[in-house]
Amino acid sequence: MNLVARAASILASATISPVFLSPVFLSLFFLYTSSVALGGEPEPKIATFSVVVCDPETGEVGAAVASMYPAVGKVVPFVKAGAGAFCTQHYSNAEFGPKALVMLETGMKPEEIITELLRHDPRPEQRQLGIIDMQGRTANHNPTQAGKNSDWWGYTAGKNYAVQGNTLAGREVLVAMAKACEETQGTVGDKLMAALKAGDDAGGDHRGRLAAGIRVDRPRIDGEPRRDGVWLALDVDKSDNAVNDLLKLYEDWKAKPRDE
């Protein structure tokens, strides 16, 4: 039974709320399942730039991202203390994130993880992936078959960081981000925000500045609060100047007293 027929069978046999049987819902549902069955594009194209950073000494690790894609901080970065950080973008696959973190925890090398994630992937050359482990080792995969609208794309890495992006104003975006990672003193969060701000000031996503997000994790202290499973999670889901707004949120967060 194909996917669409199976979905129709489930809908016909199940006890379902009337809202899910409305013409609008059913039309959208079958449009989605049909696109999947026919090899369509259920995965979002998340054109963006991002940065991953770790501090092997403190155990902090994090990722930050900005894009014209709404609520981008909720779909691109995945981080976990003791494992590392991972970003999935361009044609983003949300299932990659948790899988990458599990593999990082087992001690797999970043390049091995990317190979494993893409082993049976139907569109590997549309993915852009960036990853760092707790030793500072990094790996990347670029969307080499990205369309013209996704220019400029690229990746660079240095000691305990990696930056990657597509649909950029130009290579200067990643150059500025790398420089910020290398020259900024402070915590992983400070480095992430400095890199994101530098990339944004250099042109960032050439389409605009709609959304941004940051995730940082560190070894857990008993009773320490978590948001979305990490130590720090801040998002600007929709704004005219998302990175600057995220920076304000971050500065406010840093100013609040907390137990170290």
Same domain, 14 and 69: no
Same domain, 28 and 49: no
Task: Please give the pLDDT value at position 259.
Answer: 58
- Is residue 150, in this structure, part of any structural domain at all? yes
Same domain, 66 and 95: yes
What's 147's domain CATH number? Answer: 3.60.20.10
- Is residue 49, in this structure, part of any structural domain at all? yes
Task: Please give the pLDDT value at position 86.
Answer: 98
Task: Please give the pLDDT value at position 30.
Answer: 34
Same domain, 25 and 131: no
Residue with tokens 């078959």: 145
- Is residue 214, in this structure, part of any structural domain at all? yes
DSSP 62-124: EEEEEESSTTGGGTSEEEETTTEEEEEEEE--TTHHHHHHHHHHTT--HHHHHHHHHTT-S-G
Task: Please give the pLDDT value at position 9.
Answer: 45
Same domain, 121 and 230: yes
- Is residue 84, in this structure, part of any structural domain at all? yes
Same domain, 7 and 131: no
Same domain, 116 and 8: no
Task: Please give the pLDDT value at position 260.
Answer: 52
Res. 104: pLDDT tops 70: yes
Same domain, 33 and 75: no
Q: CA gyration radius for the chain? A: 19
Same domain, 67 and 20: no
Task: Please give the pLDDT value at position 20.
Answer: 40
- Is residue 82, in this structure, part of any structural domain at all? yes
The helix or strand, by DSSP H or E, that contains position 232, with its residue range, turns out to be strand 232-236
| Total number of domains in the chain | 2
Q: For residues 152 and 258, which has the higher predicted lDDT (pLDDT)?
A: 152
- Is residue 200, in this structure, part of any structural domain at all? yes
- pLDDT tens digits for range 5-55: 444 443 444 444 444 444 444 333 333 333 333 344 457 778 899 999 999
Res. 100: pLDDT tops 90: yes
Task: Please give the pLDDT value at position 193.
Answer: 98
Task: Please give the pLDDT value at position 10.
Answer: 38
Q: For residues 63 and 3, which has the higher predicted lDDT (pLDDT)?
A: 63
- Is residue 57, in this structure, part of any structural domain at all? yes
Domain with 24 in it: 3-37
State the pTM of this model.
Answer: 0.82
Same domain, 187 and 211: yes
Task: Please give the pLDDT value at position 222.
Answer: 74
Same domain, 24 and 121: no
Res. 127: pLDDT tops 50: yes
- Is residue 260, in this structure, part of any structural domain at all? no
> What is the distance between the alpha carbons of residues 31 and 19, in angstroms, rounded to a whole number?
17
Segment among 32-41, 176-185, 206-215 with least mean pLDDT: 32-41
Same domain, 168 and 214: yes
pLDDT band at 221 (very low <50, low <70, confident <90, very high): confident
